[in-house]
Structure 1
């Protein structure tokens, strides 16, 4: 059994906290309309459910600003902070690697 409980958060809230979207409503709408791909434990699936929970180690892939973003969730964060704080929540993954 793990020492710490698994911390999870709704994907729309995480995208908002990580500052990929200006408002939580925009993040929720995006996930519902376009969907995102989530890779967890080596398995990838597409979802359009904004309430799907993500945790550290998950890889999210979505279309943003005319480019495909692939990011690894490093932390779930406690709040929507400044951009410097938001950048500590994820690591960009180069698609060509």
Structure 2
């Protein structure tokens, strides 16, 4: 599935299933959310090749991909994963301290007794 040596970045983002359409991929690049080898890219016609590292800032996460190949079509997800190596760092999990003052989401309003326990745990008078 070897594609051309160099390819437009909007086409590659579409083929790799980072964007749902090529026009959305072009908008993503033009918004300044994509970097190639740590350099901001502002044009959808920017050419990329195998070995380049893409940093893509999306709404809720940041993706870091090393391009392994340029694609020839937008195929299934299994085929799209062959175009890149995912180098995205794992998210840091911050563990919340377990204490009696925490309530489960959706448990309703705390009772007066539970409110006093939470205030005491927080150190409030």
CA distance in 1, matches of 2:45, 2:76: 24
Instruction: Indicate which of 33, 52, 55 corresponds to 1:61.
Output: 55
Within 5 Å, give how 1:1-97 maps onto structure 2.
Answer: 7-39=5-37, 44-95=38-89
With structure 2 as the length reference, what TM-score do the two structures score?
0.65
Unaligned runs of 5+ in 2: 91-125
Size of the aligned set, in residue pairs, is 87
Aligned to 1:3: none
**1:43-77 deviation digits (Å, cap 9, x = unpaired):** x3111111000000000001125111000000001
Change in 2 beyond 3 A, CA 1:67/1:33: same
How far off its partner does 1:35 sit? Answer: 3.4
Unaligned runs of 5+ in 1: 1-5
CA distance in 2, matches of 1:92, 1:77: 16
CA RMSD across the alignment: 1.5
The structure having more radius of gyration, on CA atoms, is 2
Regions of 4+ moved over 2 Å = none
Structure whose residues are more often strand by fraction = 1
